[in-house]
Chains A and B, each alone.
Chain A
Amino acid sequence: MPLRKCAKIIKGSMALLILSALTGVFAADDIVQLGQPVSEADLRDWDLIIMPDGSGLPEGAGSAVQGSAVYEQQCASCHGASGKGMPGVPALVGENNSAGEPVVRAVGNYWPSATTLFDYVRRAMPPTAPKSLSTEQVYQVVAYVLFLNDIIGEEHELTHNNLSTVDMPNRNGFVDRSQMQ
């Protein structure tokens, strides 16, 4: 056991001894403290979480023009050339009927934030080699999927500064129940 841990345990148990001698109360939380300090900077490349406000996005940029090649090579075999999906693979392009009601719920007509697309594709796609795309490739293919959904133009360059500002049509379509439990 590293010295630091020993010291912490001893410190903790001495405090506990004193505390329990004084009050008779068992302060379980203080007995063991084994977490190794790390710096947030060390986690920057490892942490893949992208928040809806864009925080966590790595520096980079990409457009649909650049992304079409990535999509063709890495995504189209499963999601289809136009993003309609196939049995066992979800569509990436939403579809509404003439009344504007969703028939296929997907990125363009359902997802509330564009950051989710970056977060998910980077961590989970393609399923045979997740986390294999470079940052540039992720920006490019995200731009391409948004372009397929008519959300951005083909030339629109997505960057770490503007991805969170992409106007997602269904961003107000959710009722947050998190505090209604």
Chain B
Amino acid sequence: MSDKQKDNASMNWDHVASNGLLSRRHLLGLGLASTASLAANPLLAADTAAISTPSWSKVPGRDLSGYGNPSAFTQEVQRLTGSPNPLLPGGGASRSPLHLLQGSITPNGLHFERHHAGIPNVDPAQHRLLIHGLVRQALSFSYEDLLAYPQESRIYFLECSGNSGANTAAQPSDGTAASLHGLLSGAQWTGVRLSTLLEEAGVKEEASWIAATGVDGASMGRSVPLNKALDDVFIALYQNGEPIRPEQGYPMRLFVPGWEGNVSIKWLGQIKLTSGPANFRDETSRYTDFLADGKALQFTYPMGVKSVITSPSGQMTLRRHGVHEVTGLAWSGSGAISRVEISADGGSTWAEALLEGENQALALSRFRLPWLWEGGPAVLQSRATDSAGNVQPTRAVVLAQYDAANRYHFNGIQSWSVSEQGVVANAFA
């Protein structure tokens, strides 16, 4: 046993679940608790060589810029882009690097992407949003028009319903938090309530749905029930304070809070009031859930309660025995996250994590819990509960609801195994 391990063992840790999970109160005390052992560490002496006046203290730095970029030292913080499909130009997805990010807001350049015909170069001056169908007066809105309406800012997650689908496979793939769960992002979106525009057009009695389409090559269409459309759906014009990115639908996208990402139509050009769903390809052939009895679920809209530990997570290696912070994200399409529990023993014992920040409905919540790792094998899991009382199910429970071929709407608990060497890997526990 090394000196450090002895220190860890003799510390007055408040254990809250088996295999090293510690009380949240240590999140605040961590720095203090470890000072003693650090001071005694002879390795620390080597670091004094680095205590010198660095070259960048002796020259003026770089100039101002019109639009800033991340540090050259963080170039590995990138979206995970798949290989392009030459038979579907511009189609595919890129994933947010969840394991390299902190907090609960995804920077705009790292928000996940999913396109079916690439990113169109929409000129806002020529773009129009048409609201028509079962309305008293069909209306056309320019981008400039919409900017003049009262706007609202709200923080929401957006998740593709194909996210985490890899964990429906028979064997666990050697993935990262990004490759497995990165079709998920969170942002503050600002825009105009759809209800405001619908009121202006005058919705007719017979209308019960809207059908929305985009102006990209695929002109993706999705149907949304009118009650949701009038509730909290809005036309997003800004993302984290700046005009929404082309990848997110510039100049405007539909935003349908809490629902599968695909319905938040990007490059929005049309909202047609209808008396039923249009049965678009992407709500029949795709985004429907195969059941074991041969039927399929259509219009599974709200995303299920879910969480994932982003650190430690797949393909990371723990290089030090001692206390590590277990942290990750939790979210639900049916409300706010009310609690997240962590297990270090594959789900036998659980401890409640600290939820950071405001913890808003339909937004990402960051959770944290300290964990003492002393070199033994572990299986880390997180389990979220939302304000509607939904508890994130195990992988086995989710799989039992569907046909084996189903890949959508997987919200099972993620297991990360930790080996004695500290190697963290995707596991089915």
Contact = CB atoms under 8 A, between A and B. Distances in A.
Interface of A: 28-29, 31-40, 43, 46-52, 78, 86, 88-89, 101-102, 105-107, 110-113, 115-116, 119-120, 123-124, 127-128, 130-131, 173-179, 181
A124 B148 CA distance: 33
B139 A176 contact: no
Contacts of B130: 38, 43, 46
A174 B278 contact: no
Given A113-B279, A127-B217, A174-B296, 11 more contacts: A28-B150, A28-B196, A35-B131, A36-B141, A37-B137, A38-B138, A47-B272, A52-B276, A105-B285, A105-B290, A123-B218
Interface in B211-226: 211, 213, 217-219, 221, 225
B163 to A, nearest CB: 18
B213 A48 contact: yes
Interface stretch (B45-53, B83-91, B95-103): B83-91
A124 B219 contact: yes
Contact of B201 (A35, A101, A110, A175): A35
B132 interface: yes
A88 B138 CA distance: 40
Contact of A89 (B87, B218, B228): B87
Nearest to B193: A29
B217 A176 contact: no
A84 B272 CA distance: 34
Interface of B: 85-89, 91, 116-117, 130-132, 137-142, 145-146, 148-150, 195-197, 199-201, 211, 213, 217-219, 221, 225, 228, 270, 272, 274, 276-281, 284-285, 288, 290-291, 294-302, 334, 405
A175 B279 contact: no
A37 B128 CA distance: 12
B280 A116 contact: yes
Contacts of B284: 110-113, 116, 174
A40 B132 CA distance: 7
A25 to B, nearest CB: 14
Given A36-B140, A51-B274, A130 B299 contact: no
A32 B280 contact: no
Contacts of B299: 176-178
Contacts of B86: 88
Nearest to A90: B285
A174 B297 contact: yes
Given A40-B132, A52-B276, A123 B219 contact: yes
A36 B131 CA distance: 10
A86 B86 CA distance: 12
B219 A115 contact: no
Given A32-B148, A38-B138, A175 B272 contact: no
Given A32-B148, A78-B87, A130 B218 contact: yes
B270 A47 contact: yes
A124 B225 contact: no
Contacts of B285: 105-107, 110-111, 116, 120
Contacts of A88: 85-88
Contact of A181 (B274, B279, B301): B301
Grouping DSSP codes into helix (H, G, I), strand (E, B) and loop, the A interface class, with mixed when no group exceeds half, is: loop
A179 B300 CA distance: 10
Nearest to B333: A181
- Top-9 shortest CB links A-B: A35-B139, A178-B299, A120-B281, A34-B145, A174-B298, A123-B219, A36-B140, A88-B85, A124-B218
Contact of B221 (A28, A123, A175): A123
Contacts of B300: 177
16 contacts: A29-B196, A35-B141, A35-B197, A36-B139, A36-B145, A43-B132, A46-B130, A47-B132, A52-B279, A89-B88, A113-B279, A116-B285, A130-B218, A175-B295, A175-B296, A178-B301
A101 B294 contact: yes
A130 B148 CA distance: 33
A70 to B, nearest CB: 18
Contact of A173 (B270, B274, B295): B295
B229 to A, nearest CB: 12
B294 A173 contact: yes
A173 B138 CA distance: 35
B87 A49 contact: no
Contact of B295 (A52, A130, A174): A174
Given A35-B139, A116-B285, A177 B279 contact: no
B278 A49 contact: yes
B139 to A, nearest CB: 3
Nearest to A112: B284
Nearest to A79: B87
A120 B222 CA distance: 12
Contacts of A101: 294
B200 A33 contact: yes
A50 B223 CA distance: 12
B52 to A, nearest CB: 55
Contacts of B88: 88-89, 127
Contact of B279 (A37, A115, A128): A115
B16 to A, nearest CB: 35
A36 B294 CA distance: 47
Nearest to B212: A49
Nearest to A110: B285
Contacts of A113: 279, 284
Contacts of A38: 130, 132, 138-140
Q: Which of A35, A47, A51, A124 has the largest count of B CB atoms less than 10 A from its CB?
A: A35
